[in-house]
Amino acid sequence: MQYADKMEDCGKALSELINLSTTDLSTQFEMKRGHIARFINRTTSDDSVKLRALAARRRSSTMHRDDSIPKSVGSNSSNSLTRSHIRSNAASDALEQSMADMKIKEGYVFKGIVAAEPAEPRACGCVNPPPPISDQVAPYGTVENISVQKLTPEYKIGMEPLVKTKAPPLKVSELWRDKPAVFLCLRRPGCIMCRAEAHQLYSRKAIFDALGVQLFAVLHEQIDSEVKDFWPRYWGGVVLLDRGRDFFKALGGGKLLKEKFLSGFLLNPRSLSNYKRAKAMHIDYNFKGEGEIKGGLFIIGMGKSGIAYQFIERNFGDWAPIAEVIEICTQMQNQQEGQRMSVQY
């Protein structure tokens, strides 16, 4: 409703507004990405708009192979939240039904949803925002062979001594071989905003357990004292070290997304707002370690089903919306259950 006055003043009918591209909605009405998704999918009077509808309407999976293999609803998700056009409702419903009857085959790599908060000019336009991010999901091949090292196990009483035990490096795709996984890529474990994000995500662990989804936190540098302060107080799950920073490079389309403290935080109203949000949670913090490399979040499906969701920290302290993360994981669980039932029958 906050955009209603501007929309009425433009003189366009509702059908015309719905068919506007995401770029037009953003520039003409200053609409935020999440609101664009809800507006485009508001085809009924129901106020509870599901991300599932967005995925069904935007689903146009891109293969990284030449062979054509059927697609399904879960891990292929949608094309991208920034796609310029949407399909008609009738075509979307037909497409959703046909996809629901198909089965994902191993070896097929899907495209997923890319999400990020907008970046605006800063200091009254004197400081430019960071360059646009790619709306293309990182290719599956860029993440499946990443080498990581477990710094901590999942927390249980008496587990603290195991943090001192060095685990050998492993191929990260081993972690999602049997279960889908969420990878939270953190700029710095001592950052108040990173700690707040980790805490609010891990506090929903019971939900992710019920959905059969694993949770991992990913760091790009190892400072033992910082790991000790971070785990298990703010994150009780497995903490991984990505020494080559390959997860972080994948978020930036092959290069690290970095920004200076002055322009990226002190002169950025969005980052300052994120800081105030974290500060309200009364979380301790420090300034140890590299803090300019931006993070994000990946949801990766079981086996080789691909990247279902990718969130990019465009402004320091941006969080992946927890409702979106849970919704994507719910879709993945529903897909797996549908596949099991089809095998039984």
* 97 within a domain of the structure (yes/no): no
Q: How far is CA 51 from CA 56, 193, 231, 322, in A?
A: 9, 26, 32, 12
Residue 329 annotated among the catalytic residues of the structure: no
* Cα 274 from Cα 284, distance rounded (Å): 15
Let me know if residue 298 belongs to a domain: yes
CB 172, CB 294: distance < 8 Å: no
Confirm whether 191 is a catalytic residue: yes
User: Can you give the CATH number for the domain in which 183 is found?
Assistant: 3.40.30.10
List per-residue pLDDT tens for the chain, 345 residues long: 567 777 777 877 766 777 787 778 877 877 876 677 666 654 333 333 334 333 433 333 333 333 322 333 333 333 433 333 333 344 434 333 333 333 333 333 344 788 888 877 777 777 777 777 777 899 999 999 999 999 999 988 766 655 566 789 999 999 999 999 999 999 999 999 999 999 999 999 999 999 999 999 999 999 999 999 999 999 999 999 999 999 999 999 999 999 999 888 998 999 999 999 999 999 999 999 999 999 999 999 999 989 999 999 999 999 999 999 999 999 888 887 777 776 666
Residues 155 and 19 occupy one common structural domain: no
The verdict on residue 82 lying in a domain is no
Integer CA distances (angstroms), 29 to 17, 37, 85, 247, in order = 11, 14, 17, 34
Looking at the fold, whether 203 and 298 belong to one and the same domain comes out as: yes
Question: Tokens 């549908």 appear where?
Answer: 338
Same domain for 33 and 130, yes or no, is no
Q: How far apart are CA 87 and CA 95, in angstroms?
A: 10
Say what the pLDDT of residue 123 is: 73
DSSP 68-84: -----SSTT--S-TT-S
pTM value is 0.68
Domain contains 185 = yes
* 5 and 141 within one domain: no
In this structure, the answer to whether residues 167 and 299 fall within a common structural domain is yes
Per the domain annotation, does 118 fall within a domain? no
340 domain-assigned: yes
Say yes or no: 31 and 127 in one domain. no
Residue 327 lies in a domain: yes
Given 10, 126, 194, 329, the catalytic residue = 194
Q: How many CB atoms lie within 10 A of CB 5?
A: 10
* Catalytic hit among 126, 185, 191, 329: 191
Domain that holds residue 1: 1-38
Would residue 47 count as lying in a domain? no
Return the closest-CA partner of residue 289 out of 241, 236, 246, 251.
241
- Given a contact cutoff of 8 angstroms between Cβ atoms, the answer to whether 231 and 219 are in contact is no
Q: State how many domains the chain has.
A: 2
